[in-house]
Amino acid sequence: MGTASTSTTRVAIAGATGYAGQELVRILARHPAVRLVAAMSSGATSTPRPMPALARIWDDPVVPLDIDRLIADTDIVFLALPEAASADVAPKLLAGGRRVIDLSGAYRIRDNAHRDKWYPATGPLPDGVVYGLAERDALSMKTARLISCPGCYPTAALVALSPLSDAGLLSGSVIVDAKSGVSGAGKAPSDRTHFSENHGSVAAYGLFSHRHGPEIEQELGREVTFVPHLVPLDRGILETIYATLVPGTTAARVDEVMHAAYADAPFVRLTGSHLPEIKHVAYTNFCDVGWKVDAHTGRIILISCLDNLVKGAAGQAVQNMNIVLGLDQRTGLL
Ligand SMILES: NC(=O)c1ccc[n+]([C@@H]2O[C@H](COP(=O)([O-])OP(=O)(O)OC[C@H]3O[C@@H](n4cnc5c(N)ncnc54)[C@H](OP(=O)(O)O)[C@@H]3O)[C@@H](O)[C@H]2O)c1
């Protein structure tokens, strides 16, 4: 995805009034190496909208989505849209020569039949799509035309499990028991996310039917049982991950593999047996991972947590942009 000089890279956000989009505005408006030239929302309002929570960070209005303007005025467009809107807009931007960083699930599932099942509104996969987990896919992202950013739950699961899976230390399937704050569902209120339903309760949902399950399986190459829960927090994800190690795998070997994998990863903090929690990662781009091995049973339990709107969405999207622009991954994110 080679682009013009980094100091003049022009970026824009479609979906800037959403939860993930507002985080993008907050980060990109202050990013030292790019210029945020437009923040767009749906065409639901014909007049420009202000962003009161971002006053003095971004004082320009939010304008209705304008694809011609995105093609004419930008180098990279961030899509923080529902997947059907992303699948409508992305091919037009690509045809107009723009680079796209997509936060939606539109193009995360590579197999066409599989994608039709989980994301029926998204159509064929455009050329040049790369799945972009910053810690693992940096090399392939550099030549991508569209980076499909991982989902928030998959990011936490893959950061924790990929090194062990890649090193051949896992045996059989894994269980990902996940908890998320309500902002993971976006800004449109629903019965489930209504304050008086969610406050004081914890609820499982999406058993064998959540789209992040097949995404984790695709990227890990093994069976996953994924059980999400909604918890009464506004932001944050914590996953408790249960797996079995290949016989003979020691706790020291697990430590060695995890530390080697993330020696140069600025946003992964390995906490070992000091288990991480959501308060430690909220409002940051960090993914914290702790674990414990049970020598008796050969099982490992990992705890992985992140802020769904930052490392799970806007932060990781900007981290990916930093990678393709050849910048330090931390630029604008610490
Ligand atoms: N929330 C998370 O934790 C999270 C994490 C990772 C990835 N994601 C993904 O990121 C995307 C955005 O999520 P979100 O939670 O920020 O959603 P959201 O709060 O519902 O915001 C959606 C945004 O898209 C705009 N929009 C909706 N339909 C549109 C259309 N047809 N044309 C142009 N703009 C349109 C909305 O504009 P209006 O304000 O005008 O309606 C709003 O700015 C989704 O695909 C989601 O799956 C979300």
What is the CATH classification number for the domain harbouring 189?
Answer: 3.30.360.10
How would you label 317-328 residue by residue, b for 16+ Cβ within 10 Å and e otherwise? bbbbbbbbbebe
Identify whether 189 is part of a domain. Answer: yes
pTM of the model: 0.97
Per-residue pLDDT at 6:
46
Based on the domain organization, do 66 and 210 belong to the same domain? Answer: no
pLDDT of residue 52: 86
Known active-site residue 305: no
- Which residues form the domain of 284? 153-309
* Protein residue closest via CA to atom 40 of ligand 1: 42
Q: Tell me, yes or no, whether 262 and 143 share the same domain.
A: no
Residue from 100, 103, 210, 309 to probe ligand 1 pocket by mutation (most atoms less than 8 Å from CB)? 103
Protein residues whose CB sits closer than 6 Å to any atom of ligand 1: 14-21, 41-42, 44, 65, 80-83, 85, 103-105, 151-152, 183-184, 186-188, 308-309, 312-313
Q: Which residues on adjacent β-strands are paired with residue 177?
A: 227, 240
Calculate the alpha carbon distances from 34 to 31, 141, 176, 322 in Å.
6, 18, 37, 10
Ligand 1 centroid – CA 273 distance (Å): 36
The whole-number pLDDT of residue 2 equals 43
- Strand residue runs (E) in 26-169: 34-41, 63-64, 76-79, 99-102, 129-131, 146-148
| Other Cβ atoms closer than 10 A to 99 | 22
Same domain, 215 and 273: yes
Residue 79 Cα to ligand 1 middle (Å): 8
The reply to whether 333 falls in a domain is no
81 CA distance to ligand 1 centroid (A)?
4
pLDDT at 46: 60
Give pLDDT, residue 92.
98
* CATH number reported for the structural domain that contains residue 31 in this entry: 3.40.50.720
Statement to judge: residues 48 and 193 lie in one domain: no
Mutating to test ligand 1, I would choose from 81, 146, 237 the residue with most ligand atoms within 8 A of its C-beta, which is 81
Do residues 296 and 213 share a domain?
Answer: yes
Q: How many domains does the chain have?
A: 2
Task: Tell me if 104 is assigned to some domain.
Answer: yes
Say what the pLDDT of residue 7 is.
56
* Alpha carbon nearest to ligand 1 atom 2, residue: 184
Domain membership flag for residue 330:
no
Looking at the structure, do residues 157 and 219 belong to the same domain, yes or no? Answer: yes
Q: Do 222 and 126 fall into the same domain? A: no
- Please indicate, yes or no, whether residues 158 and 296 belong to a single structural domain of this protein: yes
Tokens of 124: 């064929």
| 214 and 300 together in one domain | yes
53 and 79 belong to one structural domain: yes
Q: Could you tell me the mean pLDDT of each successive run of 10 residues in the chain, 334 residues long?
A: 61 96 97 96 76 90 94 98 97 98 98 95 94 97 97 98 98 98 93 91 96 98 97 97 98 98 98 96 98 97 98 98 98 97
Say if residue 261 is in the same domain as residue 133.
no
